[in-house]
Amino acid sequence: MTHAKIELAPNVDGFFQSAVHDAMRARKVAATDAAEQYLASLLGEFARGTRAGESADRPLTLLLGEALESSGAERFQRLQNIGDGVLYAVGFFGDAFEKRGADPHYAMSVGSSAYGHAAAMLRLTGSGAGPDVLAELARSFERFVAVVMEVADALFTPGVDDDTSVLRLYRRWERTGSERLADALAVRGVCPVRAIGGVH
């Protein structure tokens, strides 16, 4: 008797490399290979639980202020962590920001600023010999958030198999307008249409 083999340790990095590449094409985001690799690696680290951003329980403005008041390697690490955390959190859980009364656009401006300050530190110390990935992430923060949203949508759609999950999928589509989610809804018999003044 043949048994199906269950792979307990899939290649998470390879998965996210492919997912990020596909999401960049879908969202028509042009980026350097280094930025694409950074984003895929970041998502892999969050998926494995080996990376955490700054505490989500504290206001971002306070975290950014504290990071800017620190110095040296600690300052750089805290700034990078804020940028990474906001990029991941808004991309995957942007609706949670809104439910808590926070403005995702404000959070993105803080994340962009954190990356910008970290990139400036690299330039000042001469440590940035390679591509200026953090500066690229700072300049195009909102577009990279859209890429992470696309990856999240790709992960979200396969598990939709009952009325409750279809409703969650529809609500996510309402917030994001994702074509991928619209296609997933259409396959399930729901054809969302955006019209002037609302959704029909």
pTM over 0.95: no
- 34's CB contacts (< 8 A; 6+ apart) are 130, 131, 133, 136
**Domain residue ranges of the chain, discontinuous segments joined by +:** 12-151, 160-200
User: At residue 168, what is the residue type?
Assistant: R
Q: What is the pLDDT along the chain (200 residues), one digit of tens a residue?
A: 444 443 444 688 888 999 999 999 988 999 999 999 999 999 999 988 877 655 567 888 999 999 999 999 999 999 999 999 999 999 988 776 666 667 889 999 999 999 999 999 988 876 655 679 999 999 999 999 999 999 988 887 776 777 777 777 787 777 777 777 787 788 777 777 765 554 44
Contact 113, 64 (CB under 8 A): yes
